[in-house]
Amino acid sequence: KQVEAYLTRFNKITISQHGFRYGSSTESSTIEYVQFVNERLDSGDHVVSILFGLTRAFDMVHKSFVSDKLNSLGIRGCINKWVVSYLDCRKIMVRVNDVYSKEFNIDLGTPQGS
């Protein structure tokens, strides 16, 4: 909440961004988009859209990108280090039935639900 408050207070995120903003979601983004398209069509305009599906985008995020992005937004010091440490030194192990794999280091991505 403190990071969101900082980003909002200093206009670091636009009002058109729906992710990571209280009261906004992919659903609110879709509703806003559909309303915009309908308004344009109702006024006789043509609408062309290019949509991208970023499947598993958060699985490809590298911690250095996160740190650099936070720095560019003015989020430095302890909070930046805390976020990066949350993404650092993660390991996984796969279990199929009762057989476990060896541990693997995870260098990319964010934990689910984070």
User: pLDDT tens digit string along 65-110?
Assistant: 889 999 998 988 998 899 888 888 888 899 999 999 999 988 888 8
pTM of the complete model:
0.59
Q: Tens digits of per-residue pLDDT, 9-24? A: 888 888 788 877 778 8
Q: How confident is the model at residue 42 (pLDDT cuts 50, 70, 90)?
A: very high
Q: How confident is the model at residue 31 (pLDDT cuts 50, 70, 90)?
A: very high
Residue 19: what are its φ and ψ, rounded to 5°?
A: -75, 140
- What is the distance between the alpha carbons of residues 72 and 66, in angstroms, rounded to a whole number? 10
pLDDT at 108: 86
pLDDT at 25: 84
Residue pair 90/105 in contact by the 8 Å Cβ criterion: yes
| Res. 41: pLDDT tops 90 | yes
Sort 91 into a burial class: Cβ within 10 Å, 0-12 / 13-18 / 19+. Answer: exposed
Q: Tens digits of per-residue pLDDT, 49-67? A: 998 887 787 888 888 888 9
